[in-house]
Amino acid sequence: MSSIEEINAFATKYGIKNANLIKTGALVNGEWIVDNSEVFSVEDPANGEHLINVTNTKIEVIEQGIKDSQIAFKKFLKESTGRQRGRILRKFYDLMLENFDDLAIICTIENGKSLADSKGEITYASSFFEWFSEEAPRIYADNIPSATASKRIITSKQPIGVVGILTPWNFPSAMITRKLGAAFAAGCSTVIKPATETPLSALALGYLAQEAGFPKGMLSMFPVDQERTKEVGKLFCESPIIKKISFTGSTGVGKLLMTQSAQTLKKLSFELGGNAPFIVFEDADVDVAVKAALGCKLRQSGQTCICANRLYIHEDVYDEFSTKLTKEVSKYVLGHGLDPNTTHGPLIHERAVQKVESHIDDAISKGAEILLGGKKAPHLGPNFHDLTILGNVPKDALVNKDETFGPLVPLIKFKTEEEVLELANDTEYGLAGYFFSKNYSRIFRVGEQLNCGMIGANTGALGEASLPFGGIGWSGFGREGSKYGIDDYTVIKSIVIDGI
């Protein structure tokens, strides 16, 4: 599908005012390539209905796009300044805000999350362009004293070159802007493969990039189906032109991409899976902890990499916490994301629902009890699952080790700080962690001992453009956003000058 009439009808059906945002082809060297000979279907995860067909970009088109991206990079490197790149990013930010409602609707129909969550995502996504528009003119380096009196060592931070960006479906806009904003601020060109489930949000950003003044070839986007995804991942990793890969997704795929990148020794940034502990100590403000758990565990129905995965509650406050949490969660409404009453949407696909079920079944077989929910909700659509709270989850339940990535809140009792720190750190993962206490020495002590890249102390909300976002261990490496975010897209060059 791609005629103007069809696109307009699609936009009208969903209340999207700016039909130009609906793109169904690949963006290659400044041109939209719509090829109806090979397409894949984008579906609404809430009801399984077909939304639109998108071009399944052919490998030869992608290979050419990568070459064009290198030409664009070299040209732009000579011409552009940080200030100019900053202005383009600022324009991009403004355009995202002008198209705010439309971008949120596009996100909801292809991802399933509630419109409120989508609006939150567009605010978050656009903030990275605002942030990096301000960072772009400030890429400073050093003048380093030499050991030899006649020498000077001058460094500069140069853009690494063409960057391959591979993004997931759970934040179809923000995972692109957090990478693209930093890469473009540094002066890199980018080739992006968005998630097969959510290409429309990505392609809408491709359109806005052109409107914002991205030079042709500085941003190319190749939508592909699941099957071709693997081929493109390998192509990016093995390409001698692409100098860096930035990936957000599962740890398994991260390991594969790292192996595939060995021959080209690429610079890599990986945001991978998590297994976030959420600890409520006996000296916590329980109301604060309950409020934080609602957002941090159940935002986007639990499909966020920094979602709490396992909740450890001190035995003294366990009953109060579980009663208050259950009362609040029972007020939530599952439904289609566009329905104004909906607080929580479906999961992305059947596999995700099965994982939630398997974690529930495992915990119950080991003695956990259902406090709320506990079942699939097929009457709402194929990918709906109850928001579920399990009490008295044993410490050997699967959910302690494996990320659910869904709406399951497992409550696990503990007695001592020492015991809970051991449980919390008993994992290969280390993305986010949370704990709640009013005792300041404990805040410092536990904060220093939790093995995670990001820690919330008395908060469940971490994400913002100024946060160095990233993990340790099997949760990946590299930091996105923040004053460090551009570093991943630059190389330090030193010039040693003698004879002074």
Ligand X SMILES: NC(=O)c1ccc[n+]([C@@H]2O[C@H](COP(=O)([O-])OP(=O)(O)OC[C@H]3O[C@@H](n4cnc5c(N)ncnc54)[C@H](O)[C@@H]3O)[C@@H](O)[C@H]2O)c1
Which residues are designated catalytic? 271
Q: How far is the CB of 14 from ligand SSN (least distance, A)?
A: 25
Q: How many helices (H) and strands (E) does the chain have?
A: 14, 22
Residue 250 touches ligand X, criterion: CB under 6 A: yes
Residue 463 interacts, among ligand SSN, ligand X, none and using kind-specific CB cut-offs from 5 to 8 Å, with: ligand SSN
35 Cβ contact partners less than 8 Å away, ≥ 6 residues apart: 25, 26, 55, 56, 57, 58, 61
- Nearest CA to 109 out of 178, 195, 13, 27 is that of 13
- Using the minimum distance from each CB to ligand SSN, give the nearer residue, 170 or 482: 170
Which of 180, 186, 200, 272 is the binder for ligand X (CB under 6 A)? 272
Q: What angle do CA 59, 22, 164 make, to 5 degrees?
A: 35
Q: Which stretch binds ligand SSN (CB under 6 A): 152-160, 303-311, 387-395, 413-421?
A: 303-311
Binding residues for ligand X, rule CB under 6 A, total 21
- Using the minimum distance from each CB to ligand X, give the nearer residue, 391 or 433: 433
- Using the minimum distance from each CB to ligand X, give the nearer residue, 85 or 355: 355
Residue 273 interacts, among ligand SSN, ligand X, none and using kind-specific CB cut-offs from 5 to 8 Å, with: ligand X
In DSSP notation, 263-286 reads: GGT-EEEEE----EEEEE-TTS-H
Residues 37 and 220 sit within 8 Å (Cβ to Cβ)? no
Q: Which parts of 119-266 are beta strand (E)?
A: 143-145, 152-159, 162-166, 189-193, 219-221, 242-248
Residue 275 touches ligand SSN, criterion: CB under 6 A: no
Q: How far is the CB of 255 from ligand X (least distance, A)?
A: 10
Binding residues for ligand SSN, rule CB under 6 A, total 7
> % helix / strand / coil in the chain, to the nearest 5?
40, 20, 35
Residue 405 interacts, among ligand SSN, ligand X, none and using kind-specific CB cut-offs from 5 to 8 Å, with: ligand X
Q: Which of residues 448-477 bind ligand X (CB under 6 A)?
A: none
DSSP state of 344: B
13 Cβ contact partners less than 8 Å away, ≥ 6 residues apart: none
**Burial (0-12, 13-18, 19+ Cβ within 10 Å), 238:** middle
- Using the minimum distance from each CB to ligand X, give the nearer residue, 86 or 254: 254
Residue 348 touches ligand SSN, criterion: CB under 6 A: no
Residue 270 interacts, among ligand SSN, ligand X, none and using kind-specific CB cut-offs from 5 to 8 Å, with: none
Q: How far is the CB of 464 from ligand SSN (least distance, A)?
A: 9
Q: Which stretch binds ligand X (CB under 6 A): 44-52, 120-128, 227-235, 446-454?
A: 227-235
Q: Which of residues 170-199 bind ligand SSN (CB under 6 A)?
A: 170-171
Which of 195, 200, 363, 399 is the binder for ligand X (CB under 6 A)? 195
155: its two tokens: 């460094």
Residues that bind ligand SSN (CB under 6 A): 170-171, 304-306, 463, 469
